[in-house]
């Protein structure tokens, strides 16, 4: 790919992290293309979520709409409904192959693709939801028995939200407790089963007991397809490993937002990480230019003197 066709930065994902990074880079004078698989900006802000499961609802949707407006207002080049399916890493640049066969090139690559709920090997079925999935529309909570699987924040947040919504019988099954103490102590001990448990893969049963709803809260991981074949390292939790500058094991490839897992997942954290990485990329792209200029000025002391007297 010729240097004339290269963009400075390719950003994969048009959620809060990706858009904030792209807008900041564009304002700094760099050429940027954002690749987004869906028809809109906003990422997980546009999802309809179960109550108590992070960003979602009218306020989040308004924020997603604001991202669209900001991107259009700044004439940001966002390629919608055409996801990247493969990444090609060169020595000094990267190529992205999109679903329609288009190939884009860039000097740096930013992954802001988000995460997906862990399934724990369980398949979707009626009455079984994962992570922030919305409740089944035909479910009547007032007559509902619920099993929540997992010992993290989301499991206990789900309990509190479902209890407030009217569910009379809720049990949390956790092999260990990883949630904040404030959340754990807000749930009656009688509604928590700590230790090993058995989930029927076909029926909504836990330890042989049937439930109207099974909510799987096993945390989140980066879908393999989001990595597009890049050999970036993953943590035991399934998130992308990065250094203090959000750079992955592949030089020039950065990961931000939920998929990096450096901050507690939130829109505010995602926006902040986008700005941090934009500044790091500016430093990275400017370094060879400044080095070359410094070398030329060093070889021309007369020019340095003239500049100093200017």
Residue with tokens 């909510």: 215
Categorize the per-residue pLDDT at 132 as very low, low, confident or very high, splitting at 50, 70 and 90: confident
* pLDDT tens, position by position, 220-249: 899 999 999 999 999 988 999 999 999 999
Tokens of 21: 């990074």
Tokens of 292: 């070359």
**Does residue 46 carry a pLDDT above 70?**
no
Q: Can you tell me the distance from the alpha carbon of 116 to that of 200, in angstroms, rounded to the nearest whole number?
A: 22
Q: Which of 4, 239, 20 is nearest to 110 (CA)?
A: 20
Averaged pLDDT score across all residues of the chain: 87
Residue 104 is predicted with a pLDDT of: 96
Q: Can you tell me the distance from the alpha carbon of 110 to that of 21, in angstroms, rounded to the nearest whole number?
A: 9
List b or e across 98-123, with b for residues whose CB sees 16 or more CB atoms inside 10 angstroms: beeeeebbbbbbbbbbbbbbbeeebe
**Does residue 169 carry a pLDDT above 60?**
yes
**Does residue 5 carry a pLDDT above 90?**
no
- pTM for this predicted structure: 0.83
* pLDDT tens, position by position, 57-77: 445 555 556 666 566 767 899
Radius of gyration, CA atoms only, the chain: 24
Enclosing H/E stretch for 216: strand 213-216
């Amino acid at each position: 790919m010729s240097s004339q066709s290269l963009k400075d930065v390719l950003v994969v994902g048009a959620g809060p992290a990706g858009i904030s990074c792209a807008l900041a880079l564009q304002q700094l004078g760099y050429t940027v293309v954002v690749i987004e698989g869906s028809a809109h900006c906003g990422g997980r802000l546009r999802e309809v979520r179960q109550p108590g499961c992070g960003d979602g609802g009218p306020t989040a949707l308004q924020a997603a709409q604001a991202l669209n407006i900001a991107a259009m207002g700044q004439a940001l080049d966002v390629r919608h409904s055409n996801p990247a399916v493969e990444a090609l890493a060169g020595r000094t640049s990267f190529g992205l192959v999109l679903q329609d066969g288009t190939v884009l090139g860039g000097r740096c690559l930013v992954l802001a693709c988000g995460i997906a709920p862990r399934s724990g090997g369980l398949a979707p079925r009626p009455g079984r939801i994962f992570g922030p999935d919305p409740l089944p529309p035909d479910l009547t909570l007032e007559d509902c028995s619920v099993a929540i699987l997992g010992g993290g924040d989301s499991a206990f947040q789900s309990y509190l939200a479902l209890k407030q919504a009217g569910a009379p019988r809720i049990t949390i099954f956790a092999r260990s407790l990883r949630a904040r103490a404030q959340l754990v102590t807000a749930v009656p001990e009688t509604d928590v089963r700590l230790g090993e448990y058995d989930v029927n893969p076909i029926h909504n049963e836990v330890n042989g007991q049937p439930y109207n709803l099974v909510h799987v809260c096993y945390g989140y991981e980066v879908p393999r397809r989001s990595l597009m074949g890049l050999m970036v390292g993953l943590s035991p939790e399934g998130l992308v490993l990065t250094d203090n500058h959000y750079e992955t094991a592949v030089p020039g490839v950065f990961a931000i937002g939920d998929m990096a897992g450096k901050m507690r997942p939130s829109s505010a954290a995602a926006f902040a990480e986008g700005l941090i990485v934009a500044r790091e990329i500016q430093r990275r792209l400017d370094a060879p230019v400044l080095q070359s200029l410094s070398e030329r000025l060093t070889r021309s002391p007369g020019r340095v003197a003239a500049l100093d007297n200017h």
